[in-house]
Amino acid sequence: MERVDSLIERVMKKHPGTSPAALLKYFEEVHQELAPLARALETMMDHANEAKNNAVAAERIAILERVNALIRTGNLTEPSHSERNGIVLAYNAITAMGDVSKGDLDGHLHQLQ
C-alpha cells in the first residue's frame, strides 16, 4: 500500500501549475486516490476495535469466573459464613488487581451472590 505522502507527491507531479483548472484536476485525482486508502484504514480500525472489545470481554469473563471460584472457596463451617468469607476473599483479590473501581467491583460481586 502506498504511503499518503508519496501518493500526494506523485499526483502533484502529474498536475503542475496553479491555475484553477490544474488545481481542480489535482484535487480530483488526489481525492480519488485517497478515498480507497481512507476506507482501508477505517476497515482496519474497525477490525482492531472489534478484536480489542472481544479481548476485554474475555478478560472480564475470566475475572468474574475467578471471583466466583474464590467465593466458593470460603472455608468456614456454616454455608452462609463460608460464602461471605469467599466474597471477602474475592473482593480483596480483585482490589489487588488495581484497575477495578469499587463501584464496578461491588456490582459484579452483587451479581454473583
0.75 exceeded by pTM? no
Residue 71 has pLDDT above 80, yes or no: no
Kindly state the cell numbers that stand for 75: 472455608
Mean pLDDT, residues 26-38 taken together: 89
Q: Residue 78 — φ and ψ, nearest 5°?
A: -75, 135
44 falls in which pLDDT band (50, 70, 90)?
Answer: very high
Residue 113 has pLDDT above 50, yes or no: no
Better-predicted residue by pLDDT, 22 or 95: 22
Better-predicted residue by pLDDT, 15 or 77: 15
Mean pLDDT, residues 45-69 taken together: 84
Residue 19: give the domain boundaries: 4-112
What is the three-class DSSP state of 78? coil
* Contact (CB, 8 A) for 105 and 94: yes
For 89: left if phi > 0, alpha if psi spans -120 to 50, otherwise beta; the answer is alpha
Residue with cell 476497515: 43
Residue 82 has pLDDT above 70, yes or no: no
Domains in the chain, number: 1
Residue 109 has pLDDT above 60, yes or no: no
CB contact set of 12 (below 8 Å; sequence gap of 6+):
26
Q: For 12-25, write each residue's pLDDT tens digit.
A: 888 888 888 888 88
Kindly state the cell numbers that stand for 72: 466458593
* Cα separation values, 15 from 32, 45, 52, 85, Å: 14, 32, 42, 75
Helices (H), the chain: 4-14, 20-72, 79-97, 102-112
